[in-house]
Amino acid sequence: MFTVAESDPKLSKEQAEPLEAKLRTELLKAQYARLQKAQRALLIVIAGIDGAGTGASVSLINEWMDARFIRTMAFDEATPEEKRYPPLWRYWQPLPALGRTGIVFGSWYQPLLREAAKKKPNPDAIQNLAQGIREFESMLANNGIQIVKLWHHLSRKAQKKRTDELLAHRETAWQVHPGEIKVRKKFARLRSAAELSINLTQADFAPWQIIPSADPDMRAVATGQAILTALRQKPSSVGSNSARDNENSKAARSHATAGAKIPPRIEKLDYTARLDSKEYEAQLGYWQARLAELTRRDKFKDRSLILVFEGQDAAGKGGAIRRVAHASSERGISTGGASAIFA
């Protein structure tokens, strides 16, 4: 997977300059054409080995394209507020509008890469994280977001050389963070973690591309070409409708529902079932008290609860919602609080 990138290919200035000049023009044309149609957004995921120049690529994209229509999203560790929501929630909020471009730096791949790079990784955790990513990216693709993922890579020798050169000068030393210095000591493990993560999350609707990154000009041209190809790609060839992706989705659903109890069919329900008023009041009081107790426990502060009510008109959804809300009124059940009810 990384053979070409680790050979550290280079472009001479004579080769790079005309390529870069043409790319800049073509990227702007493709960006404006995408803006005019406003059919899909483009989401560029930037990742790679520390010291491979991912930050430089983010700057380059904003320089070569019209930055007014690009949203750059950098994510660090989740804040206490963000931790109150599902892990991928914070990545959904700032996504680009249709026709526009987004760059994700420090993305939803960080937990997967960290787990895969451990000395003793947890295989189940890796599979769960990868499945969550596949499902998330499939959802984005099905909602008009085209995804291209660029993995920046170089050899161990080139990574060490680049880091040492930056550290040698006060004006550039600030660009090196501690993780880049540690890479050389555990390069093989990080390389394996990257290969595993890429293989587990490769999909037609969210493809990975390897960007050779030892040479700045090669990195710039490869990045620009990958984005230009994505911008020119027709909508009909994007999405999760390929046979392989459908099979992956079916397998994921089968795994998720394995062992689950199948609810009784509607026609098998007993529509004559009744409770007399005394038994109803007793059971209602018991279950409201139980619900109130559970939602007031300290552990519930670390969770959210969504109740979805569906059914025919006049089937009693509104009454059921009022009785549930009554038991949890102090917690402010609404569509925007810690708990939500939808009908």
Assign 3-class secondary structure to 71-89: EEEECCCCCCCHHHCCCCH
**Residue-level pLDDT at 16:** 96
Weakly modelled stretches of the chain, pLDDT under 70: 236-263, 328-343
Residues with Cβ within 8 Å of residue 137, at least 6 apart in sequence:
147, 201, 203, 205, 206
User: Which domains does the chain possess?
Assistant: 3-251 (3.40.50.300), 266-342 (no CATH)
Give the SS3 label for residue 217.
Answer: helix
Q: Provide the pairing of β-strand 208-212 with 339-342.
A: unpaired
Region for residue 334 given its phi and psi (left: phi exceeds 0; alpha: psi -120 to 50; beta: otherwise): beta
Token code pair at residue 32? 């404006």
- pLDDT tens-digit profile of 126-152? 999 999 999 999 999 999 999 999 999
Residues with Cβ within 8 Å of residue 22, at least 6 apart in sequence:
none
**Residue-level pLDDT at 308:** 86
Q: Vertex 145, ends 142 and 147: CA angle to 5°?
A: 105
**Residue-level pLDDT at 327:** 73
**Residue-level pLDDT at 214:** 95
Please return the burial class of 250, using the count of CB atoms within 10 Å of its CB with bins 0-12, 13-18 and 19+. Answer: exposed
**Residue-level pLDDT at 263:** 67
**Residue-level pLDDT at 63:** 94
Instruction: Write out the E strands in the chain.
Output: 41-48, 70-74, 101-105, 145-153, 208-212, 305-308, 339-342
Which residue has tokens 């005019």?
36
**Residue-level pLDDT at 238:** 45
- pLDDT tens-digit profile of 51-74? 888 989 999 999 999 999 999 998
- The whole-angstrom separation of Cα 165 and Cα 331 is 56
Would the CA dihedral through 165, 171, 175, 179 be positive or negative? positive
Closest CA to 54 of 176, 156, 172: 176
Token code pair at residue 48? 């790679």
**Residue-level pLDDT at 342:** 53
Identify the bridge partners of residue 210 per DSSP, sorted by sequence position. Answer: 151
Instruction: Write out the E strands in 156-313.
Output: 208-212, 305-308
- The whole-angstrom separation of Cα 197 and Cα 240 is 19
**Residue-level pLDDT at 7:** 96
**Residue-level pLDDT at 240:** 43
- DSSP structure string for 117-175: TSSS--HHHHHHHHHHHHHHHHHHHHTTEEEEEEEEE--HHHHHHHHHHHHTSHHHHTT
Residues with Cβ within 8 Å of residue 127, at least 6 apart in sequence:
200
- The whole-angstrom separation of Cα 241 and Cα 243 is 6
